[in-house]
Structure 1
Amino acid sequence: MVATTSVESTPLEVTAARLAALGDPTRLRIVAALRSGKRCVCDLRVQVNVPANLLSYHLKVLREAGIITATRRGRWIDYSLDPGALEQVRATLVDERPR
């Protein structure tokens, strides 16, 4: 099952969905690869070293959890981290309000 966030979700539910999405080593490798900036799927495939179909699945999970964003550039799609999402998770874990 894919963890998703919705408009009706509470902050704790959003954090739980994001943590569930991050609870996979492949998805953590994707997040690590995106720390230095946006990447296209072709670059991520090389860095993460997974087949294209699995990479697409993991990107979908991260996108639905609001951890990454996708921007179309012609035939390509660039992925990048949503820093606000990661900050929200961090703030919830240390019992602070997101800024």
Structure 2
Amino acid sequence: MNSERSLLQMRAAKHAALGDPSRLRIIDLLTLGDLSPKEIAVSLDMPSNLVAHHLGVLESVGMVGRSRSEADRRRSYVQLTPSALEGLVPSPVDEAARVLFVCTANSARSQLAAALWAQHSAIPAVSGGTQPAEQIAPGARDAAQRHDLTLTDETPRHLDDVATESDFIVTVCDSAHETLSPRGHLHWSIPDPVRVGDDAAFDTTYDELERRISELAPRLTLTH
């Protein structure tokens, strides 16, 4: 717990330092190469004393360091530290042997989610429903085809028939979440495209699942 708190404090300090547009711009410039304080002042059209203040703030949170010029020993260069950008984005959330996507009917959202997950992660994924339908929704199959996504040929399955104790569960509909809570790990509140039924609704669902999965996949590691 103490190490987690320390990490959060470090992240907060870096974000606070970058809350000033000028300091954020300095970091942007330094991702491309090292600069002297004078070069930074010219790039930002800023007085040298203000540049010195901003660099002091960035140094205090460990984001920048300085090296002495081998040519003109009076000159120094500012550079990003190796850990400068660490902690600016959330760290991995968990480990999982398998991801289980759950919606009510297991006919659209959870099916699309499991298929999309396979494109983003080596961690296996399956899907299930709390009240499975008789077949995968035609609109889901059409959406998958439009996006070159391969859906399983299996009929929708009940959650209890596929779930294991070690599954990392993601509910993708409110009804399933409220039925399973607090059993699930994550919940994504995504409207049911089957209720609307048109291509636009299924494409919107696809896009939202793609966005959320692309954000989660790098943060979930495979259980060894």
What range describes the TM-score normalised by the shorter chain of this pair?
A: 0.7 to 0.9
| Correspondence for 1:43 | 39
Higher helix residue share: 1
Structure 1 range deviating more: 79-88 or 56-65: 79-88
Q: Distance in 2 between matches of 1:70 and 1:56?
A: 12
Mapped contact 2:10–2:87 kept (Cα < 8 A): no
Of residues 7, 26, 29, the one that matches 2:25 is: 29
CA-atom RMSD in angstroms: 1.7
| Correspondence for 2:88 | 89
Deviation of the 1:28 alpha carbon = 0.8
- Code of the aligned partner of 1:58: H
Deviation of the 1:85 alpha carbon = 2.5
Deviation of the 1:77 alpha carbon = 1.3
SS in 2 for 1:42: helix
| Rg comparison, structure with higher value | 2
Count of residues in correspondence between the two structures: 86
Q: Distance in 2 between matches of 1:81 and 1:48?
A: 17
Taking structure 1 as the reference length, the TM-score comes to: 0.78
| Correspondence for 2:75 | 76
Mapped contact 2:17–2:57 kept (Cα < 8 A): yes
Between the aligned residues of both structures, percent identity stands at 36
SS in 1 for 2:32: coil
Kindly indicate whether residue 9 of structure 2 is the aligned counterpart of residue 10 of structure 1: no
Q: Distance in 1 between matches of 2:68 and 2:88?
A: 26
Q: Distance in 2 between matches of 1:66 and 1:12?
A: 15
Deviation of the 1:16 alpha carbon = 0.7
SS in 2 for 1:71: strand
SS in 2 for 1:59: helix
Q: Distance in 2 between matches of 1:49 and 1:32?
A: 15
Higher relative contact order (CA 8 A, sep 6+): 1
Deviation of the 1:31 alpha carbon = 0.8
Q: Deviations over 1:35-92 (max 9, x none)?
A: 11111111111111111110000000001111111112211111011242203322xx
CA gap of 1:30–1:15, structure 2 versus 1, over 3 A, is same
Q: Distance in 2 between matches of 1:33 and 1:52?
A: 17
Q: Distance in 2 between matches of 1:39 and 1:88?
A: 24
Q: Distance in 1 between matches of 2:55 and 2:40?
A: 10
| Correspondence for 1:53 | 49
Listed as ranges, the gaps of 5+ residues in structure 1 are 1-8
